[in-house]
Amino acid sequence: MGRASRRGLAVLCSASALILLYWAGSGGRAVWEPAQFRVVRHKDLDPVTPDNNVAMRSTEGGQTPGQQPDQSQGGTARARVLLVSYMRSGSTFTGDIFQASPQVFYLYEPLIYVNDDDYMAPTERSAKNRLIPIAFGIPHPPEIHNYTLDTLNCGFTDHNLRFLYALTYSQSTTEFDQCQKKLGVKPSNFGECGERLRERCVQSKAVVSKILRLKMWEVERLLREDPELRVIHLVRDPRGVYISRRAARYYFGDAPFCARFNADAAKSAELQAKYPGRILTTRYEDLATNPLGIAKLLFNFGGIPWTEEVQTTLVSMTSNADVQTTEHVFSTKRKNSSLTATSWRQKIAFENSWKLQKLCSSAMELYGYVPFQTDQELRDLNIASFTRDYSHVFFKAQIER
């Protein structure tokens, strides 16, 4: 079965659990009936341990998670996955899970050269205005949609390689960085270094690109022009984003962030109705609470094989005994990933929480983030900050317990 035809997908997790990728709609849209799923309770898997290794298979038959699409059905042998998220929302953590697979060519923030504002109105002019490299001063920056599609398809020309930064954050591009330094190549001709990079990408089973500088309205063109592209939309409670950015000393504007967060939620719902099964909404809180279960769903969604190597890395990242009591703000290793996802509740001032709840209310409601009415509620960890389920307008990575 080709990847393009996999839309509603249920995957079984041994005899004791069911992991769902669930899509539903309303207002005349196609709805996947609950009768298609056999609901079995699933216990939490936090922290991840090797004993929690659970095999998954498709209930539709003929295709197991990670199986590449049949080329006779018009698919390609290399999966392409776009991870769209927001600064300090767990995207580096998620990206590190993907790049733990030797079969993945991973791109870390290929759009760093683009001016990044939390909110820009969806116009062609605003998109063009973002093509002004603030720090790099390199002429003729590539158009962001073309550049994104080119890099996802291993189209690394000498010109667009000049705009590929943060090379050491990805194992896939670190060798390219080292090659440049060793050979002293000029930006106008990357020569052997560029060829090695292209070859490594072409030989991969999947290309995963983590991008924070795309709004969901900009993702639509990518979905339209690449019918095999899969998009993971990773979101996080804006109150947690605020505290994490403050700890990292990153800018956070309440109004512009919430404007983007609300607009992205609405646009994502619209695109998921238009392109069923090609966008997967994922809450960081769900990933942090059940990293093994959700990570396997993400790999399955992207058509990427799950391996022991990935699992070993994930175990290390989420239950690492060597991590110090005070974790580094930029580290993706956590002593307890579940607690990390909600630690903001003890750090945020109630007035800031209240303000974000008001400004981001439409998206928070869709994603199932719970508003707190008093400071006492905010601090009481017995009161959940997010619901188990959330809006059925989304095709979502979720564990049914």
pLDDT value of position 117: 67
The whole-chain average pLDDT of the chain stands at 78
- The amino acid occupying position 378 is L
Q: Among 60-69, 138-147, 187-196, whose mean pLDDT is lowest? A: 60-69
- Residue 157: what are its φ and ψ, rounded to 5°? -90, 165
Q: Would you tell me how many other CB atoms lie within 10 Å of the CB of residue 276?
A: 16
Instruction: Report yes or no on 367 lying in a domain.
Output: yes
Instruction: Report yes or no on 352 lying in a domain.
Output: yes
Q: Where are the alpha helices (DSSP H) in 204-334?
A: 216-225, 238-248, 254-274, 284-289, 291-302, 308-318
| Residue 76 Ramachandran class (φ > 0 left, ψ -120 to 50 alpha, else beta) | beta
Average pLDDT over residues 109-136: 65
Instruction: Report yes or no on 108 lying in a domain.
Output: no
DSSP 61-91: SS--TTPPPPGGGT--SSEEEEEE--TTSSH
pLDDT value of position 121: 57
Query: Does position 239 have pLDDT exceeding 90, yes or no?
Result: yes
Query: Does position 359 have pLDDT exceeding 70, yes or no?
Result: yes
**Which tokens hold the place of 244?**
């994490």
| 8 A C-beta contact, residue 106 and residue 170 | yes
Average pLDDT over residues 330-357: 81
Average pLDDT over residues 64-84: 59
Cα–Cα distance measured from residue 358 to residue 191, given in angstroms and rounded to the nearest whole number: 53
Instruction: Report yes or no on 386 lying in a domain.
Output: yes
Average pLDDT over residues 239-268: 95
Cα–Cα distance measured from residue 97 to residue 314, given in angstroms and rounded to the nearest whole number: 6
Is the pTM here over 0.85, yes or no? Answer: no
Higher pLDDT, 338 or 324: 338
Instruction: Report yes or no on 131 lying in a domain.
Output: no
Instruction: Report yes or no on 191 lying in a domain.
Output: no
| 8 A C-beta contact, residue 393 and residue 26 | yes
Nearest to residue 282, comparing CAs of 357, 355, 386?
Answer: 386
Q: How many domains does the chain have?
A: 1
Query: Does position 4 have pLDDT exceeding 50, yes or no?
Result: no
- Domain with 72, as residue range(s), is 3-103+205-400
pLDDT value of position 183: 86
Instruction: Report yes or no on 235 lying in a domain.
Output: yes
Reported as a single tens digit per residue, the pLDDT across 208-231 is 999 999 999 999 999 999 999 999
Instruction: Report yes or no on 164 lying in a domain.
Output: no
Nearest to residue 243, comparing CAs of 362, 334, 329?
Answer: 329
CATH label of the domain that carries residue 11: 3.40.50.300
Reported as a single tens digit per residue, the pLDDT across 277-318 is 999 999 999 999 999 999 999 999 999 999 999 999 999 988
Higher pLDDT, 338 or 38: 338
Strand order in the sheet with 279-283: 56-58, 9-13, 17-22, 396-400, 279-283, 230-235, 79-84, 206-211, 104-108
Average pLDDT over residues 384-399: 94
Q: How far is CA 58 from the centre of its chain?
A: 22
Q: Band the pLDDT of 140: cuts 50, 70, 90.
A: confident
